[in-house]
Amino acid sequence: MTHSNSVTVYTSHNDRGFADAIAAGISVGAHFAPQTADISLLAHHTNVHGRPLVLVPPGGVEWLVKELSALKGSIMVGDLSSGHSMIRGLVAGAHTALNSQLPFASLLDELQTALSSDYVEPARDNSSLVQRILLRTEESARIARLTNREFEIMGLLYGGSNVDSIARSAHIAPTTVRAHIRSILQKLQVHSQLEACAMLRRSGQDARRHPMELRIGRF
Residues 6+ apart with CB under 8 A from 68: 88, 89, 92
What fold characterizes domain 7-124?
Answer: Rossmann fold (3.40.50)
Q: Is the confidence at residue 2, as pLDDT, over 50? A: no
Q: Higher-confidence residue: 88 or 119? A: 88
Q: pLDDT band at 30, cuts 50/70/90? A: low
Please report the pLDDT score of residue 65 as a whole number: 92
Helix (H) or strand (E) holding 83: helix 83-91
Model confidence pTM above 0.85? no
Mean pLDDT of the chain: 85
CATH of domain 137-203: 1.10.10.10
Mean pLDDT of 33-60: 92
Q: Higher-confidence residue: 137 or 98? A: 98
Q: What are the residue boundaries of the structural domains of the chain, listed by start?
A: 7-124, 137-203
For 179-216, what is each residue's pLDDT tens digit? 999 999 999 999 999 999 988 877 765 544 443 333 33
Residue 27 and residue 33 in contact, taking contact as beta carbons nearer than 8 Å:
yes
Q: Is the confidence at residue 157, as pLDDT, over 70? A: yes
HEC secondary structure over 130-191? HHHHHHHHHHHHHHHCCCHHHHHHHHHHHCCCCHHHHHHHHCCCHHHHHHHHHHHHHHHCCC
